[in-house]
Structure 1
Amino acid sequence: MLLIIRMLILGIMGILWLIVGCAVCLCRPGHPSNLYVLTQMLRLVQKVVGVKVTYRFDVKELRSRMPAIFVGNHQTNWDIVTVADVPQPGLVCIGKKSLIWVPVFGILFYLSGNILIDRTNRSRNGEEFLSLVRRVRKKNLSLWIFPEGHRSKGAGMLPFKTGAVHTAKLAGVPIIPFVTSSYYGQIKLNRWDNGEIIVEMLPPRDVSGLEKSEIRSFTKQLRQDMIVKIMELDKEVRRPEGFVLPDYKGESNGDGESSPDEV
């Protein structure tokens, strides 16, 4: 019964989100604050699904650091709900073009001013980089990037691509890492209490002085620092009984290719 009730409520909320979201985006298409408005609406979903999300960062301080490149760990499709307080006015997300076909989410993702890239066309990587850099500089934008490129789905943290670091360096802006405690499999609609999730910001990273030869090693270290923080959060977060944590200790840093990253 709980599952049915929640699905009905989420369905109604999805329709309202689409209607209100389309109205906002059509009134000001491509506005850099559209994503902020849409994600603030999604905060209500946290209460509906029975999960408490704790945010550990100061919004005023965060906004003072922008424009910047935001990088975070990518776990499930619930990420847009669990990190709903991370997007700030002036922040847009990088996503693959195929997202446009995702029901409800896809059309709003496009209309809200987020940037869609063609990941399959590797010959255009250089053009994609330059386009992102121009947008950051010209429009004073911040970009939200998941450097893993794909949802990890409980597999720990996937290797990072170096696109976020390259973009930050060329645009002359810092990187702001944020992490979300491990929660893959934690949110179940047929369970009343789905525990707690913690989202925390790490100190901004200045990449302006990096040499090209240092970008890959910097990316590996950034990933490792984020894993350490996730493991710290995982020790204190409250979860439903029986939750199994990913094994971050057994992971290799991996070598990410230098290409734009996306949702």
Structure 2
Amino acid sequence: METTKKEFRNYDKLDVDAAVRLHYKKMRERQTFDYVRQMKKKYLTYDKPMNLWDAMEKLDALIDVSDPDLDLPNVQHLVQSAEAIRKDNRPDWMQLVGLIHDLGKVMYLWGCDEDGTSQAEQWGLVGDVFVVGCALPDTCVYPEFNALNKDMQDPRYNTHLGIYKPGCGIDNLTLAWGHDEYLYQVLSNHKGNSIPQAGMVMIRYHSFYPWHSGGSYTELLDENDRKYKEWVKDFNQYDLYTKSNTIYDLEDIKDYYLPIAEKYLGKGPVYW
């Protein structure tokens, strides 16, 4: 039976695992402005060479605990997204974005439980992100957990604008730490990267649901963000609505996707 759109991202389903709810509770209470700053310092070192296909294979060992729709290894979700984009004959760079948009989750290879960046503790690795440094909106998943964040007791961070200026634009906001920002920064640091701006925006903001789907943070947006939202919403139909139990063999698709990856990222390793 085909899954309808209303059945995706339904966190009120009775069969949603309690681990999903616990994940978001931990994420909301522990992802503070200081935490994000510490994670950027710790993980944005760009000193771990690994090629793209090896990174893909590493995600065969990771299941995203925050996802209420899919319990397959994360690499299968990536291929499902890419294949749907390919089927619709979208540009090759967008097919590549579909294939790699979650590759930042390889952070778990050098992550730890304390940071929430391991296989066992993923609250610093996966899940919908939000802005740190200002009040948390009700459009977050499980908004009842917002008050658990200690920044909401700090007058620097608990107001509507917090540390930000009106109209500053989302590129100037600090988001909760996770795989999106990690991959974006890794690719931005990669000299061989020629993925178009739209693709980089898709990678960076596809998990920023309170903004692109919840309508929050309007006072902080600039004119450029309208274009950003169009790009992300276009991509997210393939990120969200392609999830299924279809299983792919990476070797079967390698001959098609590897030349595209080399076209936009070169043949050498990426430094994580």
Report the TM-score range of the alignment, normalised by the length of the smaller protein. Answer: under 0.3
The structure in which a higher percent of residues are helix is 2
Report the TM-score when normalising by structure 1: 0.26
